[in-house]
Amino acid sequence: MTLGGGQAAALAPSPSAAADAPAGGPIGAPIVRLAGVGKRFANGVTALSGLDLTICQGEFVSLLGPSGCGKSTALRILAGLAAPSTGTVEWTRDGNSATSRASHDIGFVFQEPTLMPWAPVFANVWLPLRLKGVSRAAARDAVMDALSLVGLERFVDAYPRELSGGMKMRVSIARALVTQPRILLMDEPFAALDEITRQRLNDDLLSIKARLGTTVVFVTHSVFESTYLSTRIVVMAARPGRILETIDVDAPLPRDQRFRTSVLYNAICEETSRALLAAIATAGDSHL
Ligand SMILES: Nc1ncnc2c1ncn2[C@@H]1O[C@H](COP(=O)(O)OP(=O)(O)OP(=O)(O)O)[C@@H](O)[C@H]1O
Ligand SMILES: [Mg+2]
């Protein structure tokens, strides 16, 4: 399903995103900087060590690496869902240091859609606004705009059980977008979907990003997906979780089928594949 074109009453670009860089435009100022971030769990596992990563406005950064290399941990630390054991997470707003992220600055999409099965689509998408005290009536336009962005405005009264896997994930993305986040964090959101649905959602995600100017940090195991979507691929290795290599994807956004079959796409896939194999090879005791 593609975006509804003229039908889609798009959410306006978030004010902060628009101020930093035009939607889909060039890479802007840093939003968040992880410096020397480590994470050691109580069970003794060092999930991350010495992670240095700066995310800039307008970027689409993929974290790619073998199972257990700390991708989800890094995302959870960015989201404020986990605290680093060492190092710092520094947020920046309008060029100035911000003491902490504001909760509305972040949208999080998990691998599972995690919808409330007893509630219709509207209530599921409304949830983040409702938690902020926004009434159903006041939230209506934002909810409908978010649903239009993912092409599901006609399913506003449907229950999750009436939706396909791809549609459920679209609702989950709409829920993450309804607060107009400055940065969207996505943890393997399309891993459970079939190839065609996955490619469609990849295209729609790029369209949404271009339209809203949202910055995206995206966790995936897929070389092909990370190459298609990203402006930058961060390849991580395990034990301890760390960055092994960074690959810039220097192709214009948004992309389409022509990019998927281009020489450039193939060359970047090859380079990314090589880096991923190197990352896997470093993890002697990896639990792959
Ligand atoms: N809450 C926790 N307590 C203890 N160990 C944890 C916890 N969360 C993660 N770990 C460990 O930290 C390491 C990194 O986990 P993480 O989930 O970040 O990896 P990942 O790269 O996302 O893996 P996958 O690709 O399988 O999702 C793993 O060894 C994992 O077992
Ligand atoms: Mg994970």
| Ligand 1 and 222: CB distance under 6 A | no
Whether the Cβ atoms of residue 106 and residue 175 lie closer than 8 Å to each other: no
Q: Find tokens 């219709």 and name the residue.
A: 120
- 92: in domain: yes
Phi, psi of 175 (to 5 degrees): -65, -40
Q: For residue 157, tell me if it sits in a domain.
A: no
In-domain check, residue 3: no
The answer as to whether 143 is a domain residue is no
Ligand 2 centre and the CA of 136: distance in Å? 34
What does the alpha-carbon distance between residue 89 and residue 278 come to, in Å, rounded to a whole number? 28
Q: Which residue's alpha carbon is nearest to atom 4 within ligand 1?
A: 41
pLDDT of residue 25: 56
Identify the pLDDT of residue 16: 46
CATH of the domain at 94: 3.40.50.300
CB of residue 237 inside a 6 A radius of ligand 1: no
Q: By alpha-carbon position, which residue is closest to atom 6 of ligand 1? A: 41
Closest ligand (CA of 49): 1
Whether 194 is covered by a domain: the verdict is yes
Q: 113: how many CB neighbours lie within 10 A of its CB?
A: 21
- Kindly tell me the sign of the dihedral angle through the C-alpha atoms of 78, 80, 86, 87: positive
Cβ 33 vs Cβ 54: under 8 Å: yes
Question: In this structure, is residue 163 part of a structural domain?
Answer: no
Task: Determine the residue of 67, 217, 242, 244 to mutate for testing ligand 1's pocket, defined as the one with the most ligand atoms within 8 A of the Cβ atom.
Answer: 67
Structure pTM?
A: 0.89
The answer to the question of residue 160 being in a domain is no
Q: Residue 260 has which token pair?
A: 């998927």
- Would you say residue 85 lies in a domain? yes
pLDDT for 34: 96
Tokens 């992220």 correspond to 101
CA of 71 to the centre of ligand 2 (A): 6
State residue 97's pLDDT score: 75
pLDDT at 105: 87
Domain count, the chain: 1
> Which segments in the chain show pLDDT lower than 50?
1-10, 12-24, 285-288
Q: 53 is in which domain, residue-wise?
A: 31-114+183-285
